Amino acid sequence: MTLIKIPKNHPRAKSLKVRETISQAFSDGIVVSSGLIAHGRGEAFDYILGEKTLPVTLTAIKAAVVELLLSRSVISVNGNVAALQCKNIITLANLTNSQIEINLFHRTEHRIQKIHELFMKYTDKNILGTEKKYLVKIPELKSLRRFADKRGIIKSDVVFIPLEDGDRAESLVNLGKRVLTVDLNPLSRTSQMSNITIVDNVMRAIPIMISECRKMQQLSINDLKKILSDFDNENQLNLILDHISTRLISLSKQIID
Ligand code: ATP
Ligand code: MG
């Protein structure tokens, strides 16, 4: 695939560059066609949010980092996350002592291998979800995403699932896991089901998680626990919806005036 050169001063340059990255990953067999559609849905919500990390989202980001730091945690990655944030996921996993597990809705051995190879370019960390002998089925799930690694998700207390489908988020909650997500749609089932929802683009959220994690290294366990106990996901989602409503009303006034 030939990449189109996007002029730096193009008003949508950032978003178009990400689109190019994900299209390239589609050509490379890392992302599937429905991943491209999911990306488009995310873009639409990002437009509505204002394509910025909201100040209120920082509270969810901090709480999610604390969860990763204090528990047996796994970062679950799919094709889109691998394409967009592979290196940063490795950094975050190293900083929080989390495992990385590949989990695909459209699972083929070929895709698993492609994503595995991508991670192995940047780390010699053991990437889970890649060896059949360690995979078990999460009973209530029908899709191929029900496979989880005995050494990773199955054993973990906390699972971080950026850009996840609602069914899987729900089944992980039902299995008693604490579930963290990044999802631009505050109304998705994943956002609603998770214990901590970061309503932001993974492109912005993961780098901020890394910098927050570095800052938190000076904090005591009690300070970390306080960040977590102060966090309320329902309130968080309500604040995001408030922001969206206020923003849309103010934009509509600008258009009318
Ligand atoms: P659900 O199953 O949770 O109700 P859905 O069916 O609408 O959600 P899926 O395709 O299952 O959506 O999951 C993709 C989710 O990821 C969407 O909610 C989309 O907004 C979000 N998304 C896509 N790209 C990004 C991105 N770059 N950053 C954050 N979120 C994203
Ligand atoms: Mg879905």
Predicted confidence (pLDDT) per residue in 50-81, tens digit: 999 999 999 999 999 999 999 999 999 999 99
Which pair of structure tokens corresponds to residue 151?
Answer: 């050494």
pTM across the whole model: 0.94
Report long-range pairs for 38-42 (Cβ below 8 Å, ≥24 apart). Answer: 38/80, 38/163, 39/80, 41/184, 41/185, 42/163, 42/183, 42/184, 42/185, 42/201
Query: Looking at ligand 1, which residue's alpha carbon is closest to its atom 7?
Result: 188
Residue 189 Cα, ligand 2 centroid: separation in angstroms?
A: 7
Ligand nearest to the CA of 190: 1
pLDDT of res. 3 = 57
Instruction: Kindly indicate the confidence band of residue 187, based on its pLDDT and cuts at 50, 70 and 90.
Output: very high
Instruction: Kindly indicate the confidence band of residue 256, based on its pLDDT and cuts at 50, 70 and 90.
Output: low
- Residue carrying structure tokens 């204090």: 70
Determine whether the shortest distance from the Cβ of 182 to ligand 1 is under 6 A.
yes
Mean pLDDT, the chain, whole residue set: 93
Q: What share of the chain is helix, strand, coil (3-state, %, to 5)?
A: 55, 10, 30
Q: Is the pLDDT confidence value at 118 over 90? A: yes
Q: Which residues surround ligand 2, an ion (CB under 5 A)?
A: 165-166
Higher pLDDT, 1 or 148: 148
Instruction: Kindly indicate the confidence band of residue 15, based on its pLDDT and cuts at 50, 70 and 90.
Output: confident
- Residues 213, 95: contact at Cβ < 8 Å? yes
Pocket test for ligand 1, best of 185, 192, 204 (most atoms within 8 A of CB): 185
Q: Is the pLDDT confidence value at 1 over 60? A: no
Determine whether the shortest distance from the Cβ of 18 to ligand 1 is under 6 A.
no
CB neighbourhood size of 131 (10 A): 13
